[in-house]
Structure 1
Amino acid sequence: MTLHRTLRSIGAAWLVAGACCAPVGAAAQTTARVYPVQGVFWDEREPAIEQRFLRAQDIAGLSQQVRTALDNAFAGRTGELTQKTAGGTFAVSFHLTRMAQYATRKPDGNLEIRTPVTGSIYFTNVQTGEILFTQSDTNVALGLVAARDSAQVPAEVDKLYASALTALIAQLCSKAGQQFQPHAVEAKIAALQNGLMVLDGGYQQGIQSGDSLEDEQSNLIRIVYAGAGYAVAERVLVDSIKPGMVFRKYVVGKIDGRRRPRVAVVVDQAAAGFSREYLNRMFSEALGQQAPFTLVQVNPNFTNLLKTVAQHATLSTSSTAQRETPDLLIRLRVPDPIHYEAKTNLAFRTVRGFEANAYAELIDTTGRVLMATSGHDAQKIEVDNGFDMDPLARREIAVKNALLAVARQLGTVAEAQPDAAPVARVDANGIFVATPAKVYPQQAPGYLLRPTTLAIGGKPVKLLFPMAEATTAQREGAETRIAPSLPFGEQRIPVVAGDVFETLQLGAVPKSAAAFSLCPDSETLGSVQTPQLENVASLALAQAMPGNFYAPEVRELADTMINPGTSFRDRIRWSVPPVTACIQLVQRVDATGEQCEEHCQQNLTARYTMRVRENAQVTARVGLESKFRSSGYEKSTTLQAVNSLVRSDLIDEARKLLSAVAAKLVFPSTK
């Protein structure tokens, strides 16, 4: 009955088709049920949520309102959550992610107030920790305060917040009830090998590496490797196993047969007034199934959710099995938008400009940036006599549009492709694979696999069987040494010549084997600073990819979000290689004077340089300079507005110059 506010701790050609087994049905008739959680969850430390208002609310009443709305939305689909039913019953919970207020002065002097309140519904398998589905929505309450009653604005805002929250609970629960239509993907144990289970379904049937599957008795297994038409699983919570046992997982949406690595979104930079959870949810739901990834949702309130479930459900949280960590990260950066208001030649009219950008990088567990993209939104609105939407509302629209744009860009990424190399020799010096025409990145993660023939359904079937996780070590001539790490199964299988090392290829191909990161100490010269410089430079380097680009600093960010407190088995098993070279950014931007004709413009000179630095020595550098004029403005425009307009122009100029600089960059060892 409590309202929860505090966020706490939080290869071979014959294997490609994967013709191991008969395809499994992707829509078994087993029905998933939900367990409505009575409560509202939010982060008590989040400034994008109106804490003062929430602390004054009727806790028990709001909790009951959520429970009633969920019961109504899922009538006939609810069920008890017990140890026996946990595999097919999802805890459904309500989470607040953002509250805002906007005020607009009307021509009659009255004040129009809008209070958008945003929330999300999470569907969580508390036994595996997986979040199957999320649904977000916003409700906006609208009110009017007379000009003479301006002292009543705070009370009116609270009344509107209460109205929007009440409406949102009903609206979002109803929408989630309509959208949550899961179906089961089933796979049968076809054979046993080294204590592992070979299942008759793989990624073409919707079963991916890292997935957790359960049977009717809530026995739990985890996929350690998924081929096209088969998968290999290990025990997690299982009494006994035998061929013929059927395991399942639930999915929402279509299965497209693509290989989908597990990806989690981590928000590194959030514009003021936007919570990280809000930006994460909006971006993740916009991305959806467009990109060839399995999105691993992160609920920062998972610990509180689990405690609440334990208070009401017949389920021991001590036996909950935490989920596998993601294979990849999307680092999302949403800097503060730029806003300016410039005068026109009409005394009653101004032009308001809003520019928002969002940046996304795909990063693996070595800290290597695989690719990057960005989204952009720019608005120019003519405003007469000051009458327009609240600038904060315009700002929100710009941020949302930029997020949607970057999600669309990332949705066009090509599917990850397996890259296999045969083991050439194994001796006292290690395991070596033949790589005469390829260079792996440092410590690239992959699998050691053995070509195996198993009797399945009375017929011999050839497949690649996983022996261990492994990473690339160093290249020696036409070979690369491989370092095995985590073995699979009951016994460690010795690697022999003829086995296979497989890794996934995704994103841009580096132009050289050089490894670099961004230096932490950029240098700023001149009188004007370029906003979002690091974001723009990272984007340029990731798209040009002059070598292997690493972002080791992402580790600290990811570890705060991906850990046992947010339902993962552990933190990510990082294998970040030592990177001695870095790119130092140098900017020199000067405003050289104003030129006024029909309109005024600022004359600007911008020079951007990338220095390759290693062991405190600059070993190479590339720089480009341009002279340009800012966008035009009226002479009477304020200095603050001119500066904001120039900053907007500078981002565009920096994009062009830094992209050209990154494309020309060549590391000394690769010249």
Structure 2
Amino acid sequence: MPMLVSAWANANIQIYPSKGIFGLEQGCRTDPSKYEANGSSYKANGSSIVCDFSQAVDNEVIRKQAEQLFVQGLKQNFGEQVVDTISQKTKSRTYIASLEVLRASEYMVKKDSTTEIFLPVTLSIKLTNILSGEVIYSDSATLSQPIQVLSSDIESATTKAAIKQQFQSTLLTLTQQVTQELKSKLKVSETETQVIDQWKSYLVLDKGFKQGIAAQDELSSTEGDLIRVVHADSDYAVAVPILMQGNSKRFSKVSTNTRQAMNKPKALVVDVLTYKSESEQGESEDLIEQIFSDAVGEQASFTLTPVNRRYSAMAQSISEQTALAQSEDINQRELPEFFIRINVIPVIAYQQQIGKMTQQQVLHSEVFAEMIDRSGRVIYSAHATDDIKDVFSEGMGFSLEARKEVVLKNALLKLGQQFQKGIQFTRSDLKVSSSSGHNITIDDAGERLSTGMKVHVYHSDKAAGRNILIPTWEATVLERQGAKVTAQLDFPVNSSDRLPVRSGDRILLDSSAPVGDSKQSRVLCPSLPTEQVGEIPFDGFGPLIYHAFASQSKRPFYATGSSFKGQTLLKDSVVAKTENTGFKKDMNVNFHIPKDECLQPVLKIEVKQDSIKCNADKSNCDATLVMASGARIFNQKSEKIGAYGLQQEITLKGIDHQHRNEMYNIQMFEALPKILNQIVQKADSSQ
């Protein structure tokens, strides 16, 4: 067998079709008693699936049809590689194919006496390693097939039956589509390597990242043995046994990554904040993550680590469907080097009359994302926006809900592209200068290590006639004194070997820029939420000032302080995302929280007294907003020790009184970034 092959037929793997469709177990959005005017959508409990869809596919016949189409499509494309059982011997080479409904919506466009009801559904397909939970392929497809009815028949039984039938047809069509596209889109390679030496209990392999072997890869043998790569150099790799029942020497891995992706650091999306309440509809978090991930693409300097949130349920289901029992070789994945959080502000949208027969839709989307290292420090923060202004004849346009999806997708694509182009990593090679007990001292004149960062210690030695690096310990950076950094040894990389750390041992890490002095770090005060005063509701201030400090300040900024409304704390979101998705159960997730000082964002916004001047029907008003924004500084005793801030008046013209809050919000999103950047510069210069 060639060392690296691209043809699917040569990849000696199996596909097991999972029974059932995931995503339907979540709650659904119930229908309102009546359809509203153009631009409305069904709203209920924040689910991304309407109850009409859930009820339509809660049908044994339809589900059986979908399952049959799924299996038939897989077998037509992959033949005997599709199996209906998994054994202990084949489990390491078996990938579970599963379907999941990410979104099912309905909205309408009235056209005089008739109404078009749009029924978009998004279905995803994943291939998941049943042992590790690693997703090697993920794709989705959306189909929206409208039905046309008389406006007077919207509530009729005939219309409800037509909606049900269309949803059922869409599910079956999408099942065929994603299954057929799997064959053409999936580019699978299989890399084979062999053990050429052993250093203590570590295994030395004859292939490295240039040949397709990467750190954290799990390799299997034909006998069912399993090993994990703990370090990959250009032409060799070092692995530790996970499950060794025999004496296998040849191992292989299946991957959809290109060789160029093998030596890139890995990142995991751990949180998608959408501000959904129980009375609001919002995009599926899975769909948001998928759009962002697709935009980041393969050209980025890092590789996204996809997870299957249904992994635990899937593994349990598979063990019940087959003879495969849960065993010690699952839940073994390690945390990646970096985490990503995405923050999606609810789309601002309104529709207004601008002529006797003409209407205008205005939509504005704001999205944020940050990359965080293992210490909790923000190493990159991005902010993207998108606007849509549509003018159309009355009653002829798409609904606001339909356009919301478009403007949000556009903003997410811009956000992902910023991550692709804006983050560049360099490999640092640092030396251990001394070791005492569980503490080590590292030389770091380039300021690459930050307090709380997790690093690996490497020992240099010879094996198989070459110099190799062996990762021996994971350690946590404690403090910095000039160019010297103290770190604490946490636990050995290989529990079979507790090796001493010696002067000259090395620290390898990927970093994007010098971290600066950790004693000057900033964080949002954990016990003091953002203070916002004023009559205008505005969700954007917290994310905007957070992004300003994270992206513009010269001082390190940590993501370990207080969270925004509805957001999970960083530690909790990492635990939640990695729980039941194949990662180790006993991981001690701890992040650094700067203690010396913290920030409390503050915003006061009001309409200037007597500044509002309107025409007779209040469709055209002028107003002045008075906005005071900034941050208070507190010390570790929770005593206020200072503040940074600016006050500014914003003159607004052409405000429609009916949509004044939406218009105010758009203007504040446009004005605040420059103001907040000035506040950050002021804060940096005052230190």
User: Normalised by the size of structure 2, how large is the TM-score?
Assistant: 0.86
| 1:643 counterpart (640, 661, 675) | 661
Please identify, of 348-357 and 525-534, the stretch whose mean Cα deviation from structure 2 is larger: 525-534
Instruction: In structure 2, give the amino acid aligned to 1:385.
Output: E
- 1:467 corresponds to 2:488: no
CA contact under 8 A between 2:131 and 2:582: conserved in structure 1? Answer: no
Deviation of residue 112 (structure 1)?
Answer: 0.3
Once the two structures are overlaid, the 10-residue window that deviates more, 314-323 or 115-124, is: 314-323
Query: CA separation in 2, counterparts of 1:257 and 1:166?
Result: 35
Residue in 1 that maps onto 2:458: 449
Change (3 A) 1:437 1:132: closer
Q: Name the residue aligned to 1:232.
A: 238
The whole-number CA distance in structure 2 between the counterparts of 1:428 and 1:33 is 48
Assess if the C-alpha contact under 8 Å between 1:612 and 1:667 holds in 2.
no
Q: Deviations over 1:172-201 (max 9, x none)?
A: 221223222311123322221120112223
Quickly say closer, same or farther: Cα 1:508–1:165, change in 2 above 3 A: farther
Q: Which of 194, 198, 202 matches 1:188?
A: 194
CA distance in 1, matches of 2:394, 2:235: 66
Say whether the 8 Å CA contact 2:430–2:507 is kept in structure 1: yes
Deviation track 1:482-530 (CA, whole Å, cap 9, x = no partner) reads 2111213432221121112233213674576422211342222344343
Give me the whole-angstrom Cα distance separating, in 2, the residues matched to 1:509 and 1:494: 28
SS for the counterpart of 2:508 is strand
Residue deviations 1:528-553, cap 9 Å, x none? 34331111122111111332222222
Aligned with 1:279: secondary structure? helix
- Say if 2:205 is the partner of 1:199: yes
Shift of 1:590: 2.4
Q: Flag the 1:631–1:506 CA change in 2: closer, same or farther, 3 A.
A: farther
What is the aligned partner in structure 1 of residue 443 from structure 2? 434
Q: Does 1:385 align with 2:385?
A: no
Match for 2:582: what amino acid? S
**Alignment-derived partner of residue 407 in structure 2:** 398
Matches within 5 A, 1:132-531: 132-152=136-156, 153-241=159-247, 245-256=249-260, 259-270=263-274, 272-322=281-331, 323-344=333-354, 346-427=355-436, 430-438=439-447, 440-454=449-463, 456=464, 460-489=465-494, 490-506=496-512, 509-510=515-516, 513-519=519-525, 520-531=528-539
Determine what percentage of the aligned residue pairs are the same residue. 24
Q: Distance in 2 between matches of 1:508 and 1:341?
A: 48
Q: Conserved in 2, the CA contact under 8 Å of 1:39 and 1:67?
A: no
2:600 counterpart letter in structure 1 = Q
- On the 8 A contact 2:447/2:515 being kept in 1, the answer is no
The answer on whether the counterparts of 1:27 and 1:185 sit within 8 Å (CA) in structure 2 is no
1:99–1:118: 8 Å Cα contact kept in structure 2?
A: yes
Q: Residue 572 of structure 2 corresponds to which residue in structure 1?
A: 556
Q: 1-side partners of 2:72 and 2:119: how far apart?
A: 27
Q: Provide the secondary structure at the position in 1 that maps to 2:307.
A: coil
In structure 1, distance between residues paired with 2:406 and 2:653? 23
Partner of 1:102: 107
Q: Secondary structure at the match of 1:411?
A: helix
Shift of 1:585: 0.9
Question: Structure 1 residues 393-402 or 26-35, which shifts more?
Answer: 26-35
Q: Which has the higher contact order (CA 8 A, sep 6+)?
A: 1
**Partner of residue 600, structure 2:** 584
Q: Which runs of 5+ in 1 are unaligned?
A: 1-22
The 2-side partners of 1:507 and 1:305 are apart by 40
SS in 2 for 1:666: helix
Q: Does residue 33 of the first structure (1) align with residue 14 of the second (2)?
A: yes
- 1:470·1:482 contact (CA, 8 Å) conserved in 2? yes
Q: Write the deviation string for residues 227-253 of structure 1: whole angstroms up to 9, x where unpaired.
A: 3333211110112446xx222221224
Which residue in 2 is equivalent to 1:129?
A: 133
Three-state SS of the structure 2 residue aligned to 1:548 is coil
Work out the CA distance in 1 between the residues paired with 2:461 and 2:685. 43
Shift of residue 356 of structure 1? Answer: 1.1
RMSD: 2.6
User: Is 2:643 the counterpart of 1:621?
Assistant: yes
For residue 72 of structure 2, what is the aligned residue in structure 1?
A: 71
Cα distance in 2 for residues equivalent to 1:102 and 1:503: 49
| Aligned mates of 1:25, 1:134 — CA distance in 2 | 22
Q: 1:43 and 1:163, CA in 2 relative to 1: closer, same or farther beyond 3 A?
A: closer
Does the aligned pair in 1 maintain the 2:209–2:259 contact within 8 Å? no
CA distance in 2, matches of 1:469, 1:480: 15
**Does structure 1 conserve the Cα–Cα contact (< 8 Å) formed by 2:270 and 2:573?**
yes
> C-alpha separation between the residues in 1 aligned to 2:647 and 2:12?
63
SS in 2 for 1:339: strand
Cα separation, 2, equivalents of 1:433 and 1:527:
53
Aligned-residue offset at 1:105: 0.2
Aligned partner letter, 1:309: I
Is it true that 1:54 corresponds to 2:79 in the alignment?
Answer: no
Q: Name the residue aligned to 2:25.
A: 44
CA shift, 1:415, in A, is: 4.1
Match of 2:588 among 564, 568, 573: 573
> 5+ unaligned residues in a row in structure 2: which ranges?
28-46, 561-568
Q: Structure 2 vs 1, CA of residues 55 and 327 (structure 1 numbering), >3 Å: closer, same or farther? A: farther
Give CA deviations for 1:111-149 in whole Å, capped at 9, x if unaligned: 101101111111011022211111111111210111332
Aligned amino acid, residue 622 of structure 2: Q
Moved more, 513-522 or 371-380: 513-522
2:37 corresponding residue in structure 1: none
How far apart are the structure 2 equivalents of 1:461 and 1:518? Answer: 49
Aligned partner letter, 2:454: P
Partner residue of 2:117 out of 103, 113, 119: 113
- Deviation string 1:552-574 (CA, Å, 9 cap, x unpaired) is 221112212211x2222226532
What SS does structure 1 have at the residue aligned with 2:327? Answer: helix
SS of 1:641 mapped into structure 2: helix
Matching residue of 1:12: none
Q: Give the drift of 1:453.
A: 2.2
1:86 aligns with 2:86: no
Residue 654 of structure 2 corresponds to residue 632 of structure 1: yes
> Could you tell me the TM-score, scaled by structure 1's length?
0.88
In structure 2, the residue matched to 1:19 is none
Residue type of the partner of 2:631? M
How far residue 260 of structure 1 moved from its aligned partner, in angstroms, is 2.1
Q: In structure 1, how many angstroms separate the alpha carbons of the residues matched to 2:220 and 2:487?
A: 34
SS of residue in 1 equivalent to 2:612: strand
Q: For the Cα contact (< 8 Å) 2:536–2:661, is it kept in 1? A: no
Shift of 1:215: 1.9
- Aligned residue for 1:379, secondary structure, equals strand
Change in 2 beyond 3 A, CA 1:324/1:59: farther
AA matched with 1:83: Q
Residue 32 of structure 1 contacts residue 183 of structure 1 at CA under 8 Å; is this kept in 2?
no
Shift of 1:87: 2.6
Q: Are the aligned partners of 1:205 and 1:257 in contact in 2 as well (CA < 8 Å)?
A: no
2:609 pairs with 1:609: no
Q: Secondary structure of the equivalent of 1:651?
A: helix
In the TM superposition, what whole-angstrom CA distance separates every residue of 1:391-427 from its partner, at most 9, and x where no partner exists?
A: 1101111111112111111112444323222222234
Tell me, in whole angstroms, the C-alpha distance in 2 between the residues paired with 1:118 and 1:585. 38
Deviations 1:20-70 (A, max 9, x none): xxx964658433331222211115234211346424622364144224333
CA contact (8 A) 2:628 2:645 kept: yes
Aligned residues: 634
Contact 1:97 1:120 in 2 (8 A): yes
Residue 655 (structure 1) aligned with residue 681 (structure 2): no
Taking the aligned partners of 2:256 and 2:135, their CA distance within structure 1 comes to: 11
**Does 117-126 or 204-213 show the bigger shift?**
204-213
SS for the counterpart of 1:300 is coil
Moved more, 120-129 or 204-213: 204-213
Equivalences for 1:537-548 in 2 at 5 Å? 537-548=545-556
Distance 1:267 1:427 in 2: 38
* Secondary structure of 1:151's aligned partner: coil
CA-to-partner distance for each residue in 1:559-616, whole Å, 9 max, x for gaps?
A: 12211x2222226532322422221111122222235699643222322212222122
Corresponding residue number in structure 1 for 2:543: 535
Contact kept? 2:128, 2:308, Cα under 8 Å: no
